[in-house]
């Protein structure tokens, strides 16, 4: 009898440590431990090592997305087949088939994308890749939806994000918009020089903002740090992180002091009746 290899289940405490490492590395499109842990749990539930979450998923403005390559891999591993008829900058056309889901021919063209009102700039820069991802997502979802993990591909989620109104950035605190690392350098605005940023008053504004952040505000800033500092000088980034860390420590110290004072007050009241 052939033994079946299984992926061992990892305790949540171990995954929490891995999640913190993923989030602090900023290498995998995940910017806080909670997001990393959620994706690790999904990966483990599907029988893969939790670390595979870093390769297979993205978080884009709070929305989970499964990469097209991971979706196609799971589809093929589940017995699916795909035959590409066309794959170019103008069109992607393929037939997807699965023993349980039948067969379907799916195509995406630039004309179809325009008709759908998609205006993501990535379609102009990487049309073939965007068309391929859309075709894979729709094809796999049609004949073997389990291989999608109930998610869309990052390119689809990016299109949803681009179609929504821009977030309010009052106080420079907003939800993050994490774009797949392959495209990140293409979509970010040029950074200011240090002299230009000072002339624009960015330093003073940031210091005032940081001084007034509560713990939730600090978390929001860490979560969206890359996007919130996308136009600032590179030499400012580490000092800004240090200032955020300092503000978090200040808030934690204040909380500890308040709790200690409350505890002493309670002990005093108990002592005097």
CA distances from 125 to 114, 118, 136, 180, 187 (A): 15, 14, 19, 14, 10
- With 0-12 / 13-18 / 19 or more C-beta atoms within 10 angstroms meaning exposed / middle / buried, residue 12 is middle
Report the pLDDT value the prediction gives residue 31, as an integer from 0 to 100: 67
Report the pLDDT value the prediction gives residue 8, as an integer from 0 to 100: 61
Q: What is the pLDDT of residues 39-51, one digit of tens each?
A: 778 778 777 777 7
Report the pLDDT value the prediction gives residue 169, as an integer from 0 to 100: 37
Report the pLDDT value the prediction gives residue 248, as an integer from 0 to 100: 86
CA distances from 175 to 260, 261, 265 (A): 34, 35, 39
- Residue entry with tokens 């290899």: 5
Task: Tell whether the model's pLDDT for residue 112 goes beyond 60.
Answer: yes
Task: Tell whether the model's pLDDT for residue 187 goes beyond 60.
Answer: no
Report the pLDDT value the prediction gives residue 7, as an integer from 0 to 100: 54
- With 0-12 / 13-18 / 19 or more C-beta atoms within 10 angstroms meaning exposed / middle / buried, residue 260 is exposed
Report the pLDDT value the prediction gives residue 174, as an integer from 0 to 100: 36
Going by DSSP bridges, is the β-strand pair 63-66/57-60 parallel, antiparallel, or unpaired?
antiparallel
How far is Cα of residue 240 from the mean position of the Cα atoms in its chain?
A: 22
Measure the CA–CA gap between 158 and 11, rounded to whole angstroms.
33
Name the residue with higher pLDDT: 249 or 187: 249
CA distances from 86 to 18, 83, 91, 248 (A): 41, 9, 7, 53
Q: What is the pLDDT of residues 62-81, one digit of tens each?
A: 677 888 898 999 999 999 99
Q: What is the pLDDT of residues 202-243, one digit of tens each?
A: 888 888 888 888 888 888 888 888 778 888 888 888 888 888
Task: Tell whether the model's pLDDT for residue 179 goes beyond 50.
Answer: no
Q: What is the pTM of this model?
A: 0.52
């Amino acid at each position: 009898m052939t033994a079946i290899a299984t992926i061992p289940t990892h305790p949540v405490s171990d995954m929490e440590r891995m999640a913190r490492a993923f989030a602090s590395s900023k290498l995998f499109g995940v910017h806080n431990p909670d997001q990393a842990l959620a994706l690790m749990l999904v990966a483990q539930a599907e029988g893969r090592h939790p670390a595979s979450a870093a390769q297979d998923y993205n978080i884009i403005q709070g929305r989970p997305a499964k990469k097209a390559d991971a979706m196609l891999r799971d589809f093929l591993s589940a017995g699916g087949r795909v035959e590409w008829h066309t794959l170019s900058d103008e069109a992607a056309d393929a037939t997807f088939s699965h023993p349980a889901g039948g067969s379907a021919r799916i195509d995406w063209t630039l004309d179809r994308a325009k008709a759908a009102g998609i205006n993501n700039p990535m379609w102009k820069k990487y049309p073939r890749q965007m068309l391929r991802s859309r075709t894979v997502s729709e094809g796999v979802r049609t004949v073997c939806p389990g291989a999608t993990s109930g998610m869309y591909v990052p390119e689809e989620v990016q299109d949803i994000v681009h179609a929504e109104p821009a977030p309010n950035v009052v106080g420079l605190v907003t939800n993050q918009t994490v774009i797949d690392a392959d495209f990140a350098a293409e979509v970010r605005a040029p950074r200011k020089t240090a002299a230009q940023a000072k002339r624009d008053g960015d330093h003073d504004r940031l210091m005032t903002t940081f001084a007034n952040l509560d713990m939730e505000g600090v978390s929001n800033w860490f979560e969206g740090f890359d996007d919130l500092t996308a136009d600032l000088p590179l030499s400012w980034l580490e000092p800004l992180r240090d200032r955020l860390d300092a503000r978090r420590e200040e808030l934690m110290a204040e909380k500890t002091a308040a709790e200690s004072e409350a505890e002493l007050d309670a002990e005093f009241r108990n002592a005097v009746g």
